[in-house]
């Protein structure tokens, strides 16, 4: 049996994707429309006021057909994430929003980053990454992924030392973009259908495209990675939400 890598976990994450039912929206009278927009704007403003030591939140307008909005939450307690999700469902906007996709996971770092440190020391040193503030960048890109388990390309049968070398090389590519792309890795084994979620933040989309393309040629990705759907879009404020419905 190949030896697993130990991890350090931080805050829980919920990528709550929503689609706007424009048919239902058009059926509402003007007064009801105003109330829906005001309720949704109030709710997102409330989410955004979470204290820094208790979580992080942002909302994005998703490009393409897969979704219209992403409500991105990080919180210490998974029950809180469930309550936030239900709050949106039960609000006035819940009547015009459907959920095409969601992803539940937890911020995860390899203990490679904490070599020589106790668990307590590692958590203190890595707190900013374990309890992330969502970067104030224009764009987000999210995708889930698995490590492949096929014949000779079975990640879970590769030795620990070989996996460490492969991921070190993988990380070198990512470091080339560290000033343009910020990533948050969340683990979801036993929590959702995929094994990891990758959330990338950047001022524009081109560095994200170039980073992912270059990483496709890295052995850790070329041999061992399977990717799910990609969700991309710009960040919007409560005022931006109002403009979306205007």
Active-site residues, by number, are 143
The 3-state secondary structure of the chain, one letter per residue: CCCCCCEEEEEEEEEEEEEECHHHHHHCCHHHHHHHHHHHHHHHHHHHCCCHHHCEEEEEECCCCCCCEEEEEEECCHHHHHHHHHHHHHCHHHHCEEEEEEEEEEEEEEHHHHCCCCHHHHHHHCHHHHCCCCCCCCEEEEEEEEECEECCEEHHHCCHHHHHHHHHHHHHHHHCCCCCEEEEEEECCCCCCCCEEEEEEECCCHHHHHHHHHHHCCHHHHCCEEECCCEEEEEECHHHHHHHHC
């Amino acid at each position: 049996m190949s030896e697993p890598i130990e991890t350090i976990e931080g805050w829980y994450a919920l990528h709550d994707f929503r689609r706007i039912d424009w048919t239902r929206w058009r059926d509402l009278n003007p007064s009801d429309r105003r109330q829906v927009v005001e309720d949704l704007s109030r709710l997102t403003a409330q989410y955004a006021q979470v204290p820094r030591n208790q979580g992080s939140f942002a909302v994005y307008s998703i490009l393409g057909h897969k979704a219209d909005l992403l409500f991105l939450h990080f919180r210490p307690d998974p029950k809180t994430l469930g309550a936030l999700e239900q709050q949106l469902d039960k609000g006035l906007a819940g009547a015009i929003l459907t959920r095409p996709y969601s992803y539940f996971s937890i911020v995860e770092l390899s203990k490679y980053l904490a070599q020589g440190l106790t668990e307590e020391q590692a958590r203190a040193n890595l707190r900013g990454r374990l309890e992330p503030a969502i970067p104030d960048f224009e764009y987000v890109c999210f995708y889930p992924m698995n490590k492949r388990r096929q014949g000779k390309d079975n990640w879970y049968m590769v030795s620990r030392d070989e996996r460490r070398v492969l991921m070190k090389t993988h990380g070198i590519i990512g470091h080339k973009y560290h000033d343009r792309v910020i990533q948050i890795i969340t683990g979801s084994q036993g929590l959702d259908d995929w094994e990891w979620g990758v959330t990338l933040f950047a001022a524009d989309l081109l560095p994200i495209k170039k980073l992912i393309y270059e990483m496709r040629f890295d052995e850790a990705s070329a041999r061992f990675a399977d990717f799910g759907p990609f969700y991309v879009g710009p960040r919007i404020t409560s005022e931006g939400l109002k403009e979306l419905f205007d």
